[in-house]
Amino acid sequence: MGRWEPNAQGRLAEAALELFLERGFEQTTVAEIAERAGLTERTFFRHFSDKREVLFGRGGGLSTLMTDAVKDAPPSARPMDAVAAALEATAVVFDEARRPFARRRQAVISANPELQERELVKLSSLVEDMKAALHLRGVKDPEATFAAEAGITVFRIAFDRWVEESEQRDLRRLLRISLKDLRSVLATS
């Protein structure tokens, strides 16, 4: 494929995932990723700052989606209801077309402690962003922290289920199940 062909970012991401799964994350170079995608290293760096960003570069969009949903929740919504709205909003991004990529991405992350740490940092950042959105709604701490932390925990558990090979349910359903499970645990505590 030539450099001028469309979707360079998608092709680079696909090539990177293939190589990470074949050779391992540490053993894969940016030059190999670019070559597999039929592009140059320079093109790679136009889209990603480094090879980790292939796996983590889209986090800002998720944060915006979630915080906008918290902000847009009805004024009467309780903090966990606003967080639930944020969780529902993520299901738009993680549709069935995205599941195969997400499964392979998760396999790469699970095989690399450095990437697992980066994933935790990303999730922690989402907690802080949701907490800030809750503060804008007038929710004080510790309630805002509890709601944001619980919401991201629900997201992580549902997402982990969603990327399992045997799982067929969509993320929206898994989010609702995980949120219900959390509420059940809190009701019995």
CATH of the domain at 156: 1.10.357.10
Query: In this predicted structure, what is the pLDDT of residue 57?
Result: 74
Q: How far apart are CA 188 and CA 1, in angstroms?
A: 58
Amino acid at 106: Q
- Structure tokens given for 51: 């090879």
Q: Please count the structural domains in the chain.
A: 2
Query: In this predicted structure, what is the pLDDT of residue 187?
Result: 86
Q: What is the CATH number of the domain that holds 15?
A: 1.10.10.60
Same domain, 117 and 131: yes
- Structure tokens given for 116: 């697992």
Same domain, 39 and 103: no
Query: In this predicted structure, what is the pLDDT of residue 103?
Result: 94
Helices (H), the chain: 8-23, 30-37, 41-47, 53-56, 59-72, 79-93, 99-110, 113-136, 143-162, 171-188
Query: In this predicted structure, what is the pLDDT of residue 2?
Result: 47
Same domain, 32 and 68: no
- Are 102 and 163 in contact, with CB atoms under 8 Å apart? yes
Query: In this predicted structure, what is the pLDDT of residue 188?
Result: 81
pLDDT in tens, the chain (189 residues): 444 557 888 899 999 999 999 999 999 999 999 999 999 999 999 999 999 998 887 656 889 999 999 999 999 999 999 999 999 999 888 989 999 999 999 999 999 999 999 999 999 999 999 999 999 999 999 999 999 999 999 999 999 999 999 999 999 999 999 999 999 998 886
Structural domain boundaries enclosing 166: 58-188
Q: How far apart are CA 45 and CA 100, in angstroms?
A: 25
3-state helix, strand, coil in the chain (%, to 5): 75, 0, 25
